[in-house]
Amino acid sequence: MATIFQRYGGFAVISRIVLSFYDRVLDSDQLAPYFEHVDMPVLIDHQTKFIAYLTGGPATISDEALRIAHANRGIDRPAFEEMRRLLAETLEEHGLEPADLEAVMAEIDKRAGLVVTR
Amino acid sequence: MTANPVAANPAPEGLDLDRVRALLLDSATVGLAVAAGADGPILLCNEAFQALFPAPAEGDLRLVDIVPGTAEPAVRERLLAGDRHTAEVEVKLGRRRLVIAVEISPAIGHADGELMIQCQNVSKLKELEYMIDSYSKMIERQNRDLAKEKDRVERLLLNIMPRRVYEEWREFGITTPERFDEATVLLLDFVGFTEMSVAHDPPKLIAELHDIVTSFDRIVEEFGCERLKTIGDAYLAASGLPEPNPEHARNIARAALRLVRYLERRNAISEVRWHCRIGISSRPVIGSVVGTQKYVYDIFGPGVNLASRLEPLCGPMQILLDERTHQLLAGELPCTSLGTQTIRGFGEQHVYRLEGATGSERP
């Protein structure tokens, strides 16, 4: 069966989703401070590969890489929840079917422990 | 803003041209401004420009504050000569850090050294550029890995089928069985293999067979033959297939002599002694890939059967030929007639021994 990544149009669509996701993130008072000194093009690139990976696309981001990337960010649970909410909102807006959206969010939730450090 | 489109046409009655110009300027998403030279203040700007470069609380906003590069003499000279200067500057707008592409050009007429400034937010473009770059690299890397993998698979497949058959299989997904009337088959077997003590020491046996088969492969290839398979201690090779080769009988005969010679040399220095028997036949065979899941190229038919029935008739290190191979050799290599023998499935057959191998000196 085709992966979510393939069914929704591959990198072209995933990169649009991620760009629009970060627009929301930077508009959020709760999340924006985390990105104050982050190189956004690099982050957006990583995030696109990460979402591509979660949806069965041709990229691999290991749990270890994810853990290292978030180690010194001091991310707490409410911030994670807010990020999660914004991502779900973005995915929904880009037309992901409820079952697919749920599948992506389940993958995100599985990795919460690697991201939340406070 | 390079020309004034409104001024080009006569204004309709009652239209406030200044208001139209101001509206046009402010509705543009590109930041536009006019500066009184690089050091001079910004004289005029639209809303988009103001949003990107708000005026300081005190004093004037100058072009050099926005694009420090304009302070350089070389840039000034270029601008004075009427050339454009482009630069990218980073601006913090709220929480976002934006990349702004700035283009500075002498204002139309530029009598007083006034400079026209156009600004565009290219942050998204930068992000996309970075992403495209990063993906092309990723894809290139994956392509390289794929090519490497394909190469490995191809090499593996070429071990189990001839190149021409592989190419047909790759192109069409199937291969058609092919009859070869002009081909010679060689079947080699080892004497007393199951009784050899090495046969009870699997690692040693494998090491020995690996060494021997590797050398055999090299020899048959050198003589324009193709190894088809090994079955336990038996070794099957052919010439004249899948590519026709008028020399097929000679190729196989010469390769056979060399195989025996190789074993003799090896036996002289090796702890384990191997003695072979070789049967050769030039009867027709059919070549085909057999199986769909575990495919392998194999040959069938009288050529294979006769070679395999001649081989047990041999003495150690001897090479036996069927009538047709003998004919094809046309006296080029010395042979001895062994008269007719009854061979299962073939009836009475004239059998010859190829001379030149040490085993042929024995009765």
pLDDT of residue B81: 84
pLDDT level of residue B363 (50, 70, 90 thresholds): very low
Using the beta-carbon criterion (under 8 Å), do B142 and A58 form an inter-chain contact?
yes
pLDDT level of residue B205 (50, 70, 90 thresholds): confident
Taking contacts as CB-CB distances below 8 angstroms, the residues of chain B near A32 are 95
- Please, how many CA atoms are within 13 Å of residue B247, restricted to the half-sphere of its CB? 9
Using the beta-carbon criterion (under 8 Å), do B127 and A48 form an inter-chain contact?
no
Put simply, the chain B residues between 259 and 288 with a CB less than 8 A from any chain A CB are none
Closest approach of chain B CAs to the CA of A45, in angstroms?
A: 5
Contacts 24+ apart (CB under 8 A), A25-32: A25/A83, A25/A86, A26/B95, A26/B96, A28/A82, A28/A86, A30/A78, A30/A79, A30/A82, A31/A79, A31/A82, A31/A83, A31/A86, A32/B95
pLDDT level of residue B101 (50, 70, 90 thresholds): very high
pLDDT at B160 over 80: no
Q: What is the pLDDT of residues B243-293, one digit of tens each?
A: 889 999 999 999 999 999 999 999 999 888 899 999 999 999 998 887 777
Mean pLDDT, to the nearest integer, of A83-102?
Answer: 95
Higher pLDDT, B362 or B148: B148
**Could you tell me what percent of chain B has a pLDDT over 70?**
93
pLDDT level of residue B4 (50, 70, 90 thresholds): very low
Tell me the pTM.
Answer: 0.58
Q: Which of B236, B230, B237, B187 is nearest to B206 (CA)?
A: B230
Instruction: Quote the ipTM score.
Output: 0.75
pLDDT of residue B96: 84
Report the amino acid identity of residue B75.
V
Q: What residue in A sits closest to B98 (Cα-Cα)?
A: A40
Least CB–CB distance from B127: residue in A33, A41, A58? A41
Q: Which of B300, B295, B254, B260 is nearest to B276 (CA)?
A: B260
